[in-house]
Amino acid sequence: MRIRYLSAVLMLPALLPGRVKTGLDVLVEEDFAPLAGKRVGLIANQNAVTWDHRNIVEVMAASKRVKLAAIFAPEHGFSATSPAGANIESGKESATGVPIHSIYNRGSNRPSPEMLAGIDVLVYDLQEAGARFWTFTTTLGYMMEAAAQRRIPIYVLDRPNPINGIAVEGPMLEEKYISMIGYGLRPVRHGMTVGELAEFFNGENHIGADLHVVKMRGWDRGMWMDQTGLEWIPPSPNLRNLAAAALYPGTCLVETTFISVGRGTDTPFEMFGAPWFHHLELADYLNSRKVPGVRFLARRFSPTEAPYQGQEVMGIDIQLLNRDELNSPRMGLEIIAALLKLHPGKFNFDRKVMLLMGNDRAAELLRQGKTGAEVDEVLRPQLEAFRKLRAKYLLY
């Protein structure tokens, strides 16, 4: 069914007091003034919406000031529903007929010169998750590089970091582990918005893009998503709620081909397990570590996705008690330390684990039998250095 887009772009109801205005809200309020007369290449998905839930394609199509020329689809596709890691095909947006170019597929995760032909300006509007291994931010870096090479201005519409903009936690990425799940030398939890990351990438990676960040209004660094007045929209099929997003920088550290993190269940990233877990002993041990903000509960589950699709898994359910006390990457390190202690020979630092952790020193300390807290303490000077570096890129 084709959707008719109304032309009343400026008839946007006043936001309620205290509600954060995203970069998109600000741009719509200005009727796309910075983009007037331009052919726009849009990096976005269906979740790039105004505060009253109108997709960016809808509002661009309703404006007579811009011409939407192409859409670039990241992981999970423009629909934002494809499974993690699934190959994304190109196509057309159903209501407008605008071509959708996949920039997440087995061939290349970057735009080709042909995709960028005829584009006057790029606009990026994707929700950040607050964790280094979020592929949308790698897509941002790649699109900035392409924009710089072709001298195309790029506008980044800022959105909140859903798990706040203060916490800086976890192992730092080392250059040898740069990949699609690790762009920019930063810790697991970086405490930056997507606009700030764009500034950081442009400066530290020496990209040289003609970068413009459309800042939010009313956002404070200490805000979690439920304090912004905005709606929670899952940024991917498996980050279904804010609790999962808070735990994700920790549980994702143990996601491998031999450990399930709950994909294919109702609560992905809120649990983890494998058929070979001694889950009762593991829960007891993790609770003895007294990780602030969480408790661990043994449970069984049967995921509908790999690994262990259709099998009974001996698992651990993570109970989030206090998100402000939780250092989620430290939690992930404690889980890895526990697996090495209680399941010797079962957990190994394969390529996927190392791309996620991104830090040889952290891995070596865990191999030596150090606890997550001990590893976290050793890594503290690296985090302090990063905090000083990131300070010049903070916008709020």
Do the domain assignments include residue 385? Answer: no
Does the structure show a pLDDT above 70 at 323?
yes
Does the structure show a pLDDT above 90 at 87?
no
Q: Based on the fold, state whether residues 102 and 228 are members of the same structural domain.
A: yes
What CATH number does residue 319 fall under?
3.90.1150.140
Average pLDDT estimate for 356-361 = 98
The percent of residues in the chain predicted with pLDDT above 70, rounded, is: 95
Q: Which of 207, 236, 265 is the last residue of a domain?
A: 236
Do the domain assignments include residue 199? Answer: yes
In b/e form, how buried is each residue of 264-296, taking b as 16+ CB within 10 angstroms? Answer: bbebbbbbbbbeebebeebbebbeebebebbeb
Give residue 76's pLDDT band: very low, low, confident or very high (50, 70, 90).
Answer: confident
Q: Based on the fold, state whether residues 164 and 78 are members of the same structural domain.
A: yes
Does the structure show a pLDDT above 50 at 7?
no
Q: Based on the fold, state whether residues 232 and 257 are members of the same structural domain.
A: no
Does the structure show a pLDDT above 50 at 341?
yes
Residues 328 and 197: their CA atoms lie apart, in Å, by 20
Residue type present at position 75 = E
Do the domain assignments include residue 292? Answer: yes
Q: Based on the fold, state whether residues 200 and 133 are members of the same structural domain.
A: yes
Q: Based on the fold, state whether residues 217 and 306 are members of the same structural domain.
A: no
Average pLDDT estimate for 236-247 = 96
> CB–CB of 198/214 below 8 Å?
no
Q: Based on the fold, state whether residues 289 and 179 are members of the same structural domain.
A: no
Task: Determine the pLDDT at residue 17.
Answer: 58
Domain extent, residue 325, equals 242-379
Does the structure show a pLDDT above 90 at 283?
yes
Give residue 106's pLDDT band: very low, low, confident or very high (50, 70, 90).
Answer: low
Does the structure show a pLDDT above 90 at 126?
yes
Q: Based on the fold, state whether residues 159 and 279 are members of the same structural domain.
A: no
- Residue bearing the bigger pLDDT, 89 or 378: 378
Do the domain assignments include residue 172? Answer: yes
Cα distances from 20 to residues 26, 67, 220, 226, 229, in angstroms, run: 10, 27, 9, 11, 6
Q: Which of 185, 210, 236 is the last residue of a domain?
A: 236
Count of domains in the chain? Answer: 2
Do the domain assignments include residue 102? Answer: yes
By three-state DSSP, how is residue 27 classified?
helix
Give residue 14's pLDDT band: very low, low, confident or very high (50, 70, 90).
Answer: low
Do the domain assignments include residue 330? Answer: yes
pLDDT tens for 215-224 read 999 999 999 9
Q: Based on the fold, state whether residues 362 and 287 are members of the same structural domain.
A: yes
Give residue 6's pLDDT band: very low, low, confident or very high (50, 70, 90).
Answer: very low
Does the structure show a pLDDT above 90 at 210?
yes
Task: Determine the pLDDT at residue 15.
Answer: 54
Q: Based on the fold, state whether residues 96 and 228 are members of the same structural domain.
A: yes
What CATH number does residue 129 fall under?
3.40.50.12170
Q: Based on the fold, state whether residues 268 and 190 are members of the same structural domain.
A: no
- Residue bearing the bigger pLDDT, 161 or 1: 161
The mean of the pLDDT values for the chain is 93
Task: Determine the pLDDT at residue 11.
Answer: 40
Do the domain assignments include residue 11? Answer: no
Does the structure show a pLDDT above 80 at 192?
yes
Do the domain assignments include residue 387? Answer: no
Task: Determine the pLDDT at residue 24.
Answer: 98
Average pLDDT estimate for 97-117 = 90
* DSSP for residue 376: H
Q: Based on the fold, state whether residues 172 and 256 are members of the same structural domain.
A: no
> CB–CB of 199/208 below 8 Å?
no
Residues 87 and 252: their CA atoms lie apart, in Å, by 20
Does the structure show a pLDDT above 90 at 372?
yes
> CB–CB of 220/228 below 8 Å?
no
Q: Is this model's pTM higher than 0.85 or not?
A: yes
Average pLDDT estimate for 184-207 = 98
Task: Determine the pLDDT at residue 16.
Answer: 57
